[in-house]
Structure 1
Amino acid sequence: MKALQFTLPVTYDKSVIVQEEQLPHFYPYLHRHNEAQLTWIQEGEGTLVAGTSMHSFSAGDIFLLGANQPHLFKSNPEYFSTDSSKQVRSMMVFFNPHGKLSSLFELPEMQVLRSFIQQYSGGFKLPAKYVKTMSQKIQDVQQTQGFNRFMQFFQLLKSLYTINGKLVPLSITPVENVSESEGIRISTIYNYIMQHYDTMITLEDVAAEAHMTPQAFCRYFKKHTGHTFVTFLNGMRINEACKKLTAGKCESISAVAYTSGFNSITNFNRVFKSVIGNSPREYLESYRSNF
C-alpha cells in the first residue's frame, strides 16, 4: 500500500510543472502532495475523491486540487479489465504556492490571486462552458518553457480568477495535516471501501482491514472524514448509481440498485433521495430532459 504523502518527480529548475499522462487507468491510490494540481481530463471516466467528497469525472472536465489535499481519480471498473482497450489521458499543471512561488505570491500586487488560491484550498470544478477556453490556456502553459511558461501560467490563474463566482467547490472540509502512518491507514480504508462498495461490505470488514475494533474504527473514521462509515459508503454507492443511470449501463433502476451494493430497492430509493434530493426515476428524467 502506498503512503498518502506523494512526492512528484520534478526537476529543481521549474516552479510550474506540466505533466501529461496516457495510461490504462489513473493512479489507483489515495494520495496528496505539496503542489496544487490543475487537471484536465482528456479521456477517461470514473470518480474523483477530493478530501472527503466524491464527484464523477469524464472527458472534458477540469479540476483544481489544493496543495496537500488528499485525492484519487478512481477509474471505472472496466478500465482494470485484463482485456480492456480503454485508456485515460490527462494534462496536469502542478505548482506549490507555499514553495518556490511563495515569495511571489506575497507581493501586494498578487494579493487577489493569493486569496483566490486560499479560497479554493479544497479544490473546484470548472463549469463546462469555460472548459474550451481554459483547456487552451493549459495547452499554452504546456507548449512553452522558461519565462514564457511562467507568464502563461499567471495568465491562466488570472483567467480562473475572473470566473471565481461560478466555480464549483469540491470540498469544504479543511485539509488535515496527518502523519505518514495515518496517511497509510486512511488510504487503506478508502481504497478498501472503493474496491468493495458493490458487495455486502460490513463495518466489521473495514475495521478489520484497518486493524481496529469496530467501535474504535467508528470514532476514527468520523474524526478524519467528518462522516460516519455508513454515510460515506452510501455516498459512494449513490455516486456510482448515478453514473450507471445516466450511462444506461443497466437494464432497470432495480438492476442499478443491486449492482451498486444495495440489497433492497426500497432502501436504495430512500437513500438515493436523501443524498440526491430526488428519486432515481426523477433524477433520470431530469437528466434526459437536459439532452
Structure 2
Amino acid sequence: MKVLQFTIPVAHDKSVIFEQVHLPHFYPYLHRHEEIQITWIQQGEGTLVVGNHMHDFAPGDVFFLGPNLPHLFKSNPEYFNSDSNKCVKAITIFFNPNGQLHAVLDLPEMKPVKAFLQQYQHGFKVPDDAFNEISSKMLSFKNAFGPDQLIHLFKLLKILYHHGVKAEGLSSYGTSHRISENEGIRISNIYNYIMQFYHEAITLEDVANAAHMTPQAFCRYFKKHTGHTFISFLNEVRINESCKKLTDYTYDSISTVAYKCGFNSITNFNRVFRMVTGTSPREYIDNYNRNFNNPIRVAG
C-alpha cells in the first residue's frame, strides 16, 4: 500500500489500536493506510481533505475513514504559528478489516457489518445525534485489553452500522488510485500552498512554480492525482472558507466575505458558491439559521 506510506503501529498481539493525540497540529501530509480509522476531534479546527473532497472539522466531529482512503486533517493556519497556544486533541480507533480480523468478519453473524464496511469505504461523518453514544464507546477502549477491546470494537461497529446506513460518503474518488510517498508529500505541499494563499489572486503559474513544474505538467499531474483541476480545487477551498466566515459572526456582509476569500466580484462569488454548494450565500445562511436556531444577520 502506498500514498504517503503510513504504517499504523499495531502490535502483533493486537488487532485494534487506540490512539489519543495532543499535539500543536495534526499530521500535515496526505496519506493512506490499510486500517479503517474512526477519529473523534476533541479539540482543533480545520479542513479534512478526503480523496477529492473537503469538509470542515471542529470539536465534537467524528469521522469514519475507509481503508486505503487518502486523507489529511489540515489544521487551520494559526495552529502552525510558533507563538500559538493552540493545540489539537483527538481519539482514534484503527483496525484492519483485511488483516487478523478478516476471519471474524467472515462469520455469518457479521455479514451485515462486513457489508456496511465495504459500502462505506469512502467514509462518512458520524451524525450528530449519534455523538454521545459513539464518543462514550470510543472512550471505553482506553483502558481495555485483550478480548475486551474486541468486544468494544464490535459494539462500536454495531452503533456505526445503525447510524451510518444513510450517511453521505466523504469522497467519490481515491481508494483505488495509488500515490507514491514522494507524490503524497508533493500533493500535500500543493494543498498547503493553495490553502495558505487562497485569499490572494494566485494563478496557475504561481502554484506550478511552487511545485517546481511547468503549468502544463502541473495541470496533468494535479488532475491525475486529485481528480480536480487547479481552478476547481481553488474554488472549493475558497467556498469552504467562505462558508466558515458566513457563520462565524466575524463579517457584516456577504460581499466582504467574498473579497476576503479571493473573489474579485460578488457576481462571480455567487455563481461559484451556488455551483459548489447548490445554494446561494443567502440561502446558505438561512439554512444554517434554521438548522442551528442561531440567527446570523449578514448584509448582502
Shared fold, TM over 0.5 = yes
Contact 1:30 1:190 in 2 (8 A): no
Matches within 5 A, 1:21-170: 21-170=21-170
Corresponding residue number in structure 1 for 2:225: 224
- Using the TM superposition, give the Cα deviation of residue 70 of structure 1 relative to its aligned residue in structure 2, in angstroms: 1.1
Greater shift, 135-144 or 251-260, is seen at: 251-260
Corresponding residue number in structure 1 for 2:296: none
Alpha-carbon spacing, 1:81–1:186, altered in 2? closer, same or farther (3 Å): closer
- Using the TM superposition, give the Cα deviation of residue 92 of structure 1 relative to its aligned residue in structure 2, in angstroms: 0.4
- Using the TM superposition, give the Cα deviation of residue 94 of structure 1 relative to its aligned residue in structure 2, in angstroms: 0.6
**Whole-angstrom distance in 1 between the partners of 2:245 and 2:29:** 23
Corresponding residue number in structure 1 for 2:201: 200
In structure 1, the gaps of 5 or more residues are none
- Using the TM superposition, give the Cα deviation of residue 114 of structure 1 relative to its aligned residue in structure 2, in angstroms: 1.7
TM-superposition CA deviations, 1:184-241 (whole Å, max 9, x none)? 3323322222222222221112222333321222222222222211011100110011
Alpha-carbon spacing, 1:23–1:180, altered in 2? closer, same or farther (3 Å): closer
Corresponding residue number in structure 2 for 1:236: 237
TM-superposition CA deviations, 1:127-166 (whole Å, max 9, x none)? 1111111111111222311110111111111121122323
Greater shift, 77-86 or 21-30, is seen at: 77-86
Alpha-carbon spacing, 1:81–1:256, altered in 2? closer, same or farther (3 Å): farther
**Whole-angstrom distance in 1 between the partners of 2:10 and 2:214:** 40
- Percent of aligned pairs with the same residue? 59
Contact 2:4 2:179 in 1 (8 A): no
- Using the TM superposition, give the Cα deviation of residue 85 of structure 1 relative to its aligned residue in structure 2, in angstroms: 2.5
**Whole-angstrom distance in 2 between the partners of 1:21 and 1:151:** 23
- Using the TM superposition, give the Cα deviation of residue 254 of structure 1 relative to its aligned residue in structure 2, in angstroms: 2.3
Counterpart AA for 2:270: N
TM-superposition CA deviations, 1:90-144 (whole Å, max 9, x none)? 1100111122222322333322222211111111101111111111111122231
Counterpart AA for 1:114: K
TM-superposition CA deviations, 1:165-186 (whole Å, max 9, x none)? 2323111224112233333332
**Whole-angstrom distance in 1 between the partners of 2:136 and 2:72:** 24
Corresponding residue number in structure 1 for 2:214: 213
Counterpart AA for 1:216: A
Task: Report the secondary structure of 1:173's partner residue.
Answer: coil
**Whole-angstrom distance in 1 between the partners of 2:49 and 2:79:** 17
**Whole-angstrom distance in 1 between the partners of 2:183 and 2:203:** 22
Contact 1:127 1:168 in 2 (8 A): no
Q: Deviating runs (4+, > 3 A) in structure 1?
A: none
Alpha-carbon spacing, 1:71–1:150, altered in 2? closer, same or farther (3 Å): same
In structure 2, the gaps of 5 or more residues are 294-300
**Whole-angstrom distance in 2 between the partners of 1:11 and 1:80:** 31
Contact 1:126 1:168 in 2 (8 A): no
The total of aligned residue pairs comes to 289
Greater shift, 170-179 or 131-140, is seen at: 170-179
Greater shift, 222-231 or 148-157, is seen at: 222-231
Task: Report the secondary structure of 1:187's partner residue.
Answer: helix
Corresponding residue number in structure 1 for 2:273: 272
Greater shift, 27-36 or 123-132, is seen at: 27-36
Task: Report the secondary structure of 1:141's partner residue.
Answer: coil
Contact 1:29 1:191 in 2 (8 A): no
TM-superposition CA deviations, 1:37-88 (whole Å, max 9, x none)? 1001112221111111101111111101111211111122232334432222
Corresponding residue number in structure 2 for 1:255: 256
Counterpart AA for 1:278: T
**Whole-angstrom distance in 1 between the partners of 2:257 and 2:127:** 28
Contact 1:269 1:280 in 2 (8 A): yes
Greater shift, 262-271 or 14-23, is seen at: 262-271
Contact 2:35 2:94 in 1 (8 A): yes
Contact 1:24 1:80 in 2 (8 A): yes
